[in-house]
Amino acid sequence: MKKITAFIFDLDGVIVFTDQFHYQAWKKMADRMGIHFDEAINNRLRGVSRMESLEIILENYNGVLSLEEKNALAEEKNTSYRELLHTMTPGDVSQDVRRTLEELRGRGYKLAIGSSSKNARFILEKVGLLDFFDAISDGTNITNSKPDPEVFVKAAEYLGESPQSCIVVEDAYAGVDAAKAGGMAAAAMGDAASYEKADYVLQSFSDLLKIAPENEER
Ligand code: BG6
Ligand code: MG
C-alpha cells in the first residue's frame, strides 16, 4: 500500500452541515410546484450535482418541462439556498472539525476540498476556511459529478499527489463510489457510514487522526 500523504474532503455534510439548507431550498421550490419532496428524497441528492438533483426531484412531477424551465427551477433553488448560506459564520465549523484539520496539517498532510458544489468557495469564505486548504476542486472545474471520480482526481492533481496517496472523506454513497472509482481510499461518515464500500468508518471527524499516523511514523 502506498504511503498516505493527503486528505481530500467533501464539503457539504463533512466540513459543514449545509444539508438542511439544501433541503429547505429544494422543499420551497417543490412545494410551490406541488411536487412531493421529503428527507428520504433529499438523502438521494447527497454529492449529486444541482441539475441531477433537480431531475431526481422531478421524478415526482407529472408534467414535462423544457430545459429553460428546468434551468429556472434550479436557479430558483440556488437563490433560496444562497440566502441561507449568507447566514453562515466561522461558528458553523465545529471545534472537532477545526482541531482535526489543524492537527492533520501539523502532521504534514496536504489537505484539499473535493465538492460537487458550485457554491463551495462561497461557503468556505463564509466559514473562514477559503485560504486554509492546499487545493480546491469543486463544481466549477468538473464536467461529471460524483459518482464519477473527476472531482477527486482533479483535487489530487492540484495537490500534485497520486490518487493512491489520498484518503477521501465523504458522507455520500455517490462520493464513496467516486473515491473508489478514482483509486483512492474512502473514509465514510454520516449517511455513508453504513456503506460497505468504505475503507474506514468515522464515528466522529476526529477519528481521522487514528488513521493518520504522526510524521515520524510515516
Ligand atoms: C453537493 C451536495 O455537495 O453539492 C449536493 O451534496 C448538491 O446535494 C451539490 O446538489 C451541488 O451544489 P450546488 O451548491 O452547486 O447547487
Ligand atoms: Mg456531502
CB contact at 8 A, 27 and 138? no
Is 68 within 8 Å of 173 (Cβ atoms)?
A: no
Provide the whole-model pTM: 0.95
Q: Find, among 115, 120, 119, the residue nearest to 174 by Cα.
A: 115
47 CB within 6 A, ligand 1: yes
In contact, 197 and 184? CB cutoff 8 Å: no
Ligand 1 pocket, residue 12 CB under 6 Å: yes
Cell triple for 167 = 484518503
* 177 catalytically annotated: no
Q: How far is the CA of 51 from the centre of ligand 1 (A)?
A: 9
Dump the DSSP string for 194-206: G-TT-SEE-SSGG
Q: Which residue out of 12, 19, 138, 148 is catalytically annotated?
A: 12
Sequential pLDDT tens for the chain (218 residues): 679 999 999 999 999 999 999 999 999 999 999 999 999 999 999 999 999 999 999 999 999 999 999 999 999 999 999 999 999 999 999 999 999 999 999 999 999 999 999 999 999 999 999 999 999 999 999 999 999 999 999 999 999 999 999 999 999 999 999 999 999 999 999 999 999 999 999 999 999 999 987 654 55
Domains of the chain: 6-16+94-210 (3.40.50.1000), 19-85 (1.10.150.240)
State the Cα–Cα distance between residues 119 and 139, nearest whole angstrom.
8
Name residues with Cβ closer than 5 Å to ligand 2, which is an ion: 10, 12-13, 171-172
C-alpha cell at 70: 428546468
12 is catalytic: yes
Quote the pLDDT of residue 49.
94
Max CA separation in the chain (angstroms): 61
Choosing from 15, 21, 48, 191 the residue with most ligand 1 atoms within 8 A of its CB, the one to mutate for a pocket test is 48
Strands 166-170 and 135-137: unpaired
CA atoms within 13 A on the CB side of 189: 20
Task: Write down the pLDDT at residue 2.
Answer: 78
Q: Which of 49, 55, 84, 145 to mutate to test the pocket of ligand 1 (most atoms within 8 A of CB)?
A: 49
Element (H, E) at 170: strand 166-170
* Pocket lining: 146 vs ligand 1, CB cutoff 6 Å: no
